[in-house]
Structure 1
Amino acid sequence: MGLLEISLALLAIGFLIYKWSTATFKTFEARKLYFEKPYPLVGNSGGSFFQRRSFQKELSEFYDRTREQKLAGFFNLRTPMIAVNDPQLIKKVCIKDFDHFPNHPLVFHSDERLVNDMVSSMTDQRWKHMRNTLSPVFTAAKMRNMFTLMNESFAECLQHLDTSASLPGQKGFEVDMKALCNKLSNDIIATTAFGLKVNSYKNPENEFYDIGQTLVFTRGLGFFKFMLASMMPRIFKFLGLTIFETAKIEYFVRLVVDAIRYREQHNISRPDMIQLLMEAKKESQNNWTDDEIVAQCFIFFFAAFENNSNFICTTTYELLHNPEVQERLYEEVKETQGSLNGGSLTYDTVQKMTYMDMVISESLRKWSLAPITDRICTKDYTLTDEDGSKLFDFKAGDRVIIPITGLHLDERYFPEPRKFDPERFSEERKGELVPYTYLPFGVGPRNCIGNRYALMQIKGFLFNLLLNYKIEASPKTTKDLWESARGLNFVPSEGLWMHLVPRK
């Protein structure tokens, strides 16, 4: 084949790719919905796709440009999505008319084991039955017992930090909070979700941590496979690829199934997720399979591992930049410790820490760990305004997004949105919040079921950390986390460095 033929073949391939990558871009024009011009292949999310900014920042900027529109078209790569910007319409879509938008759209289509058995992937009645089964698992009473397991992981983390603090001739030491919290998050998931006791500080090469790291798809090969499965599912399947390695999935299935069998045979009880799911399965009328039970433990790697680690990172980052907030929180921590009379921290004690709750709430506002929540329309629906006038005709199959990051950083709802101000959530002021503008764990029946789990983890860890250390900036501390974050990674790849100074 000559040079001309090769050039023509490449041009033809390029043209076909261009046509494929823009095939959906007339969607909103035909339906008379406001949208911004998308770019081939990347749509309106080129900045995060090419690692120039974080997805949170990209969504926030898109929201700022389109917020005067109650609805706006957004292209996430090739996928057309309808952003609902108005709080009252969010209530309609996610709560009042939930039966038209009951499901999350599938992020990627896969027949892999466990993937479609996670409650977040389930749809319609199957989801409803599993959600009803799981709801009692996440009550305050159940979390109260599980908190004892978290306390053990907090203690191991502090022991690890104390080793660094005891080095002679230095006042304080540098720590990569991201690396530290990844290990903490790993150990807490291991003990609370899988019934496995590991210490990733003493044994950083432990099997659970190594395998768990391969399941995080915000970076590396995992990110590439995730994007390919989302954008080109047929090619992904044709190439015989899988999001997760079969051997890694089998490892987690064995962990849970073996634990269940052993506990049943030896009448053993432990206040962890496996135990709670065993009890929930007995009480449920649905005959859940082993895989469906394992999948609810497995989801912790996607819902909890990265998010809970980043949650601690962004909150401690704010504390080092706002020393007066840190000092006030430390005073509450000291006062709380005094009330324990030498006893261990409990779930109920944590719940009584009002300033801690204000700090955490403001952290969730400013650093939305989930930039959006999404729904898919399952039956045709006409959305109307408060006066009954028609706004838009949704069709079955339409994807909807709620721009959480945009709402949280909208100065109309949160004045000086880039300022870290826990007082927004004080008893005196939290009544001023406009409903459906603060959505850190989503909204409606499909909100995050594990919010209590996430909150007790960060509150328990901050209590222990601040009791023992003052958090300060180090020479390696990221100057501007918002500007430096890239893609799906909220925390820079080089880590999030801080300086810890022992209080004693």
Structure 2
Amino acid sequence: MACLEICLALLGIALLVYKWSIGTFKTFETRKLPYEKPWPFFGNVAASALQRISTQKQLTEFYLRNRQHKVVGFFNLRKPVVQVNDPELIKKICVKDFDHFPNHNFPLATKERLLNDMINVMKDQRWKRMRNTLSPVFTSAKMRTMFVLMNDSFGECMQHLKKLSGSTTSEAGIEVDMKILFNKLSNDIIATTAFGLKVNSFENPENEFYSVGQSLIFSTPAQFFRFTLSALMPKVFTFFNMTVFDGKKVDYFVNLVLQAMKLREEQGITRPDMIQLMIEAKKEAENNWTDDEIVAQCFVFFFAAFDNNSNLICIAAYELLKNPEIQERLYQEVKETRESLNGGSLTYDVVQKMTYMDMVVSETLRKWTQNPSIDRVCSKPYTLTDEDGNKLFDFRKGDLVTIPVAGLHGDDRYFPDPRKFDPERFSEDQKSGIPPFTYMPFGVGPRSCLAIRYAQMLAKGLLYNLMLNFKIEPSPRTLEDMWEEARSFSLTPRSGLYMQLVPRQ
């Protein structure tokens, strides 16, 4: 009898959990918006949440199935989200009527140190004030000085590769896991440009900055589980006082920045990095920013930029490997650029003049956008209408909105043969024909990414050095099709991204 009661109790609990998992799934039926039938718990992202395909592929395929709808319902796990597919409507929400959709939706239900102080999490006037404080940090003039620090890291990376290639007698070059290589490079560049710390992860792969940083980028299944639980069951997450990040690791970065700021102010030290720029910005800002608010902006680089920077360079290299004629043309431009320097160092201004390099990076960001969607939250009631004034949807305060960037980038109406890697789309003759609000690798409107110049100069500077010294060729372990083999958030598979680097003569 007791056994039967236990079974009935478990059955009852299972039924309640199931009911909870689908409790939001009538939202769009009630509000008369088309949608696809969602899966319990996972909504419309089951395949990527269960690590069967990449998030980018999942969102692109959903968009392509539903692009006939200007507005469509989408379930991100249990959360109902309104997806806006039409470029003109995207312009309305992200630019013209921005005051109705000024904030991001931060998916983590946590009060952990620094997280809620990051600019991409800040809201309303607090966000606007921090944006105004940070904008001068990312001007072309500031990037010119910061590029000098990047150049040092590029040189250390090339020196490491030359040492590896010199240790082998094979004329085929060396097989390298580009993900590991560029993770180390991204780490070193963030260390020097954001935290004022000089490390060389090629010579010292066990350095503390690298090992601590790796713990903050969802590199383990346990981290991914905690992140998902926080988004799926925020009340459970907070009830058990769980955290996404190790507090001691976060404190490491706080102490690193605060000690550096104190030392510089006491000794009058200046250095062209993020810490220095934040010190200057803090002095000039009208607001009295706290230490945590200042440190959090450096922390953004690890939380938001580390994996994106590494992935961008990896995927650009992968496309050059798959398209040797494009690689050769880029190499010719790089050679001509080196000759124009007359033995001098590469500079930010010279990087900006490499037109084909810009085309290659732009096409990489189109085909493999690092941010497959843009999110917004409705701050006050808003009626969305089409160009003829017809009502499409009534937004309520708190409604979540998503802009399907990966889907738009993969739409053959805007980019013919979208899975083809074709830098010519961004030539002077053709890029003016790209419809507005169909290409948004760094977001759009006032909430677009501040660090566009930073990300682009990093990718271009590294590709310049890589092309100059090595030819990229397939290795026995090179992926045949990354689109099919990538999983979850990251575009690059956990099995590694192997390529053959052949020294140029």
Q: Report the TM-score when normalising by structure 1.
A: 0.99
AA aligned to 1:129 is R
Aligned residue in 2 for 1:310: 311
Q: Distance in 1 between matches of 2:477 and 2:303?
A: 29
Aligned counterparts, 1:94-493, within 5 A: 94-171=94-171, 172-217=173-218, 219-493=220-494
Aligned residue in 1 for 2:501: 500
The Cα offsets for residues 47-92 of structure 1, whole Å up to 9 and x where unpaired, read as 0011111110000010011000000000010011011000000000
Where does the alignment leave 5 or more consecutive residues of structure 1 unmatched? none
- Is the CA contact (8 Å cut-off) linking 2:257 and 2:275 kept in structure 1? yes
More deviation, 210-219/435-444? 210-219
Please report how far the alpha carbon of residue 2 of structure 1 lies from its aligned counterpart in structure 2 after TM superposition: 2.5
**Paired residue secondary structure (2:471):** strand
**Paired residue secondary structure (1:299):** helix
AA aligned to 2:291 is D
- Is the CA contact (8 Å cut-off) linking 2:216 and 2:302 kept in structure 1? yes
Identity %: 65
More deviation, 356-365/484-493? 484-493
AA aligned to 1:208 is F
AA aligned to 1:135 is S
Q: Distance in 2 between matches of 1:278 and 1:146?
A: 15
Aligned residue in 1 for 2:52: 52
- Is the CA contact (8 Å cut-off) linking 1:219 and 1:489 kept in structure 2? no
AA aligned to 2:295 is V
Q: Distance in 1 between matches of 2:490 and 2:219?
A: 6
Aligned residue in 2 for 1:15: 15
The Cα offsets for residues 113-169 of structure 1, whole Å up to 9 and x where unpaired, read as 101000000000000000000000000100110000000000110111011110242
Please report how far the alpha carbon of residue 233 of structure 1 lies from its aligned counterpart in structure 2 after TM superposition: 1.1
- Is the CA contact (8 Å cut-off) linking 2:376 and 2:401 kept in structure 1? yes
**Paired residue secondary structure (1:498):** strand
Q: Distance in 2 between matches of 1:195 and 1:435?
A: 38
**Paired residue secondary structure (2:113):** coil
**Paired residue secondary structure (1:120):** coil
Q: Distance in 2 between matches of 1:91 and 1:472?
A: 41
- Is the CA contact (8 Å cut-off) linking 1:218 and 1:489 kept in structure 2? no
AA aligned to 1:43 is G
Q: Distance in 2 between matches of 1:219 and 1:392?
A: 40
Please report how far the alpha carbon of residue 110 of structure 1 lies from its aligned counterpart in structure 2 after TM superposition: 1.5
Q: Distance in 2 between matches of 1:245 and 1:481?
A: 32
Please report how far the alpha carbon of residue 112 of structure 1 lies from its aligned counterpart in structure 2 after TM superposition: 1.1
Please report how far the alpha carbon of residue 39 of structure 1 lies from its aligned counterpart in structure 2 after TM superposition: 1.0
Number of equivalent positions: 504
Q: Distance in 1 between matches of 2:2 and 2:279?
A: 67
More deviation, 66-75/209-218? 209-218
- Is the CA contact (8 Å cut-off) linking 1:25 and 1:38 kept in structure 2? yes
Q: Distance in 1 between matches of 2:168 and 2:423?
A: 37
**Paired residue secondary structure (2:72):** strand
Structure 1: 4+ residue segments shifted above 4 A:
none
- Is the CA contact (8 Å cut-off) linking 1:468 and 1:502 kept in structure 2? yes
Please report how far the alpha carbon of residue 293 of structure 1 lies from its aligned counterpart in structure 2 after TM superposition: 0.3
Q: Report the TM-score when normalising by structure 2.
A: 0.99
Q: Distance in 2 between matches of 1:500 and 1:32?
A: 55
Q: Distance in 2 between matches of 1:396 and 1:358?
A: 40
CA-atom RMSD in angstroms: 0.8
The Cα offsets for residues 266-307 of structure 1, whole Å up to 9 and x where unpaired, read as 001000000000000001000000000000000101221000
Q: Distance in 2 between matches of 1:447 and 1:401?
A: 14
AA aligned to 1:350 is V
Q: Distance in 1 between matches of 2:168 and 2:228?
A: 48
- Is the CA contact (8 Å cut-off) linking 2:109 and 2:237 kept in structure 1? no
- Is the CA contact (8 Å cut-off) linking 1:218 and 1:488 kept in structure 2? no
Please report how far the alpha carbon of residue 13 of structure 1 lies from its aligned counterpart in structure 2 after TM superposition: 1.1
